[in-house]
Amino acid sequence: MGTTAEPPLGPGLASLAQVSRRILAPLTALAALMLLAGCTPAPPQPAPAWQQVTLPAGVRPASLAATDSTVLVGGVTPADPAPRLLQLTAGAVTGAVEPVTTDPYAQVADLISLTAAGDAVYAIGKAIGGAHSNPRLTVWDGSLAANRLTSHPQEFFTFGGHDAGPLLGTVVIAGEPVIFGSRTTGTGPRGVLWTRTGTTWTQQDRVVAALASTPDRELGFGALSGLGSHLVVAGDELGLSGGILQSPAAFTGTVDGPWQTARLPVPDNLPAVAGQLSRATGVACPDSGETCWFAGWARGHALAWPVTIAKDGTLRPGTPSVLAGEPDSGTDPVALVALVGGHPAVLANASARSLQLGCPDGWHALPAPPGVATAMTAAPDALYAVAGTSLWRLPAPAC
């Protein structure tokens, strides 16, 4: 069968086709350019940078806490020793909470721990004194509305004495403050709770098996958070039978109820760096939900662990993430963790400083403030960290 030739266009139709081609040609080119531009990746955005927060002259920051609208900074003026508690908004100091005390050690205390719960503020102060230059611990409470933070002297052996250990901080459970710390025993540290009646603090006299060192294992406690009715503690367990083995550990329990502990897993193929300790040193829990994040070091590597805590207190550690970075010159680096928009942010204090942000597609490396970070908190608009002797602010990073 032969092919049928197309009929020739008449003069009018030929002119119309030429006009159409003239109009469509630039439009087609423009569409191609638009499509090409849409496929071209946008230029990379500069990484957010930490900015030093200007504090009143002579103030050395030590502790941080955040509310929905205010960041609190606790510390001391070392040259003329006195406690300081500052209020910040959007990275600028907007006021100072007045410390009220008649206790000589409180008058020169460094506010090493802060907790904010709505309008209420709780603090722990430390001063060095006495014949043996031991830490003298003081407890404080106050109100942002009243703009006052008051210390309440306690009987000496409440927090002191020959077996006194450090206090990790205060958590608020069912509207009441609870302090977690430790005492020294013949077999090692023992985790202890203190509760308050009026302005008087009392150490619980019960021995909690999950918090007590034994001849076979010695426990360590490093950081404190809270999840609902549970206190959540990061630390370590040192096995003493059949060889010495240190493992990062998590502890959780209630004020009057049982406590449980779990070793945090470390990947079997993680190479060991000689002389490095292995422990969890930071923990952050959400306002709602059931998963806390722990951070620490094991075998000379920084790690982060998600840990689910059931309503009955059962601990379910998740798969650990090995974070970038080598240990600093010391053998006991401290990693800090905070939750930013529901995502863990870890300052591992590695030799090459970085902030690691845990996102659905993996961990993102961001800049870290200069110096060793000793405190970190997340506000709705930013991360704040004490590093070296300065306070730093980073606009809230996002995944």
Rounded Cα distance between 250 and 309, Å, is 10
pLDDT at 215: 96
Average pLDDT over residues 290-319: 96
More confident residue, 261 or 14: 261
Average pLDDT (334-359) is 97
The single residue listed with the structure tokens 């994040």 is 293
**Residues 195/255, Cβ–Cβ less than 8 Å:** yes
> Can you give the pLDDT at residue 130?
77
Residue 101, domain member (yes or no)? yes
Cα 245–247–251 angle (5° rounding)?
135
3-class state of residue 39 by DSSP: helix
Domain interval for residue 105: 50-153
Cα–Cα distance measured from residue 366 to residue 356, given in angstroms and rounded to the nearest whole number:
6
Helix, strand, or coil (residue 197): strand
Domain membership flag for residue 103: yes
What pLDDT does 143 receive?
Answer: 95
What pLDDT is recorded for position 41? 56
Write the pLDDT tens digit of every residue in 114-130: 999 999 999 999 999 87
- The pLDDT value given to residue 266: 96
Is 287 inside a domain boundary? no
Residue 242 pLDDT class (50, 70, 90 cuts):
confident
Q: Are 331 and 348 in contact (CB under 8 A)?
A: no
Give the span between the Cα atoms of 136 and 296, in whole angstroms.
Answer: 28
Return all residues near 287 (Cβ < 8 A) that are at least 6 apart.
none
What percent of the chain clears pLDDT 70, i.e. is strictly above it? 88
Asked whether residue 121 is domain-assigned, the answer is yes
Q: What share of the chain is helix, strand, coil (3-state, %, to 5)?
A: 10, 50, 40
- Alpha-carbon span 228 to 232, nearest angstrom: 10
Query: How many helical (H) and strand (E) elements, i.e. helices and strands, does the chain have?
Result: 3, 29
Which residue, among 202, 205, 203, 239, has the nearest Cα to 219 in the 3D structure? 239
Q: Which of 130, 77, 81 is nearest to 107 (CA)?
A: 81
Residues in the chain: 399
Q: Write down the residue that tokens 């040259």 correspond to.
A: 79
Burial 264-286 (b: 16+ CB within 10 A, else e): bebeeeeeeeeebbbbbbbbbbe
| Mean pLDDT, range 258-273, rounded to an integer | 94
Flag whether 140 is in a domain.
Answer: yes
> Which residues are bridge partners to 114 per DSSP?
123
Contact 132, 58 (CB under 8 A): no
Residue 33 confidence (pLDDT): 38
Q: How far is Cα 311 from Cα 139, in angstroms, rounded to an integer?
A: 30
| Domain contains 92 | yes
pLDDT in tens, 137-174: 999 999 999 999 999 999 999 999 999 999 999 999 99
**88 in Cβ contact with 94 (< 8 Å):** yes
In-domain check, residue 137: yes
Residue 351 lies in a domain: no
Structure tokens at 356: 């690691």
- Report pLDDT for 183: 96
The total number of structural domains that make up the chain? 1
Q: Residue 230 and residue 290: Cα distance in Å, rounded?
A: 11
